[in-house]
Amino acid sequence: MMGSGKTTVGKILSGVLGYSFFDCDTLIEQSVDGTSVAEIFKLYGEGFFREKETEVLQKLSLMRQLVVSTGGGAVTRPINWRYMQKGISVWLDVPLEALAQRIAAVGTDSRPLLHQCESGDAYTEALNRLSTLWEERGEAYANANARVSLENIAVKLGHKDVSSLTPVTIAIEALEQIEGFLKEEDDMAIAGY
C-alpha cells in the first residue's frame, strides 16, 4: 500500500544485496517527460498510469539483480503479476492506521488516489480511503511470495506499535522472509514438486 515504505526499504535491500534499485513511479514520471504521478493522474487518468506501470514492469522483468518498488496499485492487474513473478515479490504489510498516520503527517498532494477525499481531518480521510483500497487490493497483496508484517515485527521486538520500527529493521525482516521463501522453494524442488 502507499506509504508502507516500499521505496525506503527497497533502497536498503538493494544496497545490502548489491543490486540496482528502481522505483516504478519515478520511471513512469520519466517516461512522461518528468510529469509527477499526481499530474499524470490529473491529466491522463488512472488507466493511462496503469498502462505505463505495466510497460515499466515488463521492461524491468527482463533484467536481473534488481530491487523494484512498485506503486501500491500494481497488484491489481494480472499482467503485472506475470512480470513480478520473474523475481520474488515482497508485501510490506502495514496496519492501515499506521499508513493513515504517515500519510496525514505529510499530506496527500502526491497521492492522487487519496487526494480525492472530502474535506475533514486528514487522518480520517486517509484511513477511510485506505480502507476502501484495502478492500479492493487485499487479496492481490496476499499473492506476494513473502509477507513482511510490521505488526509481527513489533510484537517480536516488544514494541507497542509499528511506528517505532526503523526501515533497517523492516529490511532485515524482509530478507528473513525472502530467505524463508527460497528455502521453501528449494525444499519443494528437492521433493519433486
The structure's pTM equals: 0.88
74 assigned to some structural domain? yes
Q: Are 38 and 28 in contact (CB under 8 A)?
A: no
CB atoms within 10 A of CB 16: 14
Helix, strand, coil fractions of the chain, as percent rounded to 5: 65, 10, 25
Q: What is the per-residue pLDDT for 112?
A: 53
Q: What is the per-residue pLDDT for 2?
A: 86
The distance from CA 184 to its chain's CA centroid, rounded to whole angstroms, is 23
**Domain CATH for 70:** 3.40.50.300
**Residue ranges in the chain whose pLDDT is less than 70:** 107-119, 193
Q: What is the per-residue pLDDT for 188?
A: 81
24 assigned to some structural domain? yes
Q: What is the per-residue pLDDT for 60?
A: 98
Question: Which residues are within 8 A (CB) of 155 and not within 5 positions of it... i.e. 6 or more apart?
Answer: none
162 assigned to some structural domain? yes
Per-residue DSSP letter, 119? S
How far is the C-alpha of 144 from the C-alpha of 142, rounded, in Å? Answer: 5
Q: What is the per-residue pLDDT for 79?
A: 97
Q: What is the per-residue pLDDT for 82?
A: 96
1 assigned to some structural domain? no
Backbone torsions φ then ψ of 90, nearest 5 degrees: -125, 130
Domain count of the fold of the chain: 1
For CA atoms 47, 51, 57, 58, the dihedral sign is positive
How far is the C-alpha of 93 from the C-alpha of 80, rounded, in Å? Answer: 19
Outline where 45-160 has alpha helix (H): 46-60, 78-84, 96-106, 112-115, 122-141, 150-157
10 assigned to some structural domain? yes
163 assigned to some structural domain? yes
Listed residue (100, 115, 97, 89) closest to 6, CA to CA:
89
Structural domain of 179: 6-190
How far is the C-alpha of 46 from the C-alpha of 37, rounded, in Å? Answer: 10
Here the cell at position 29 is 514520471
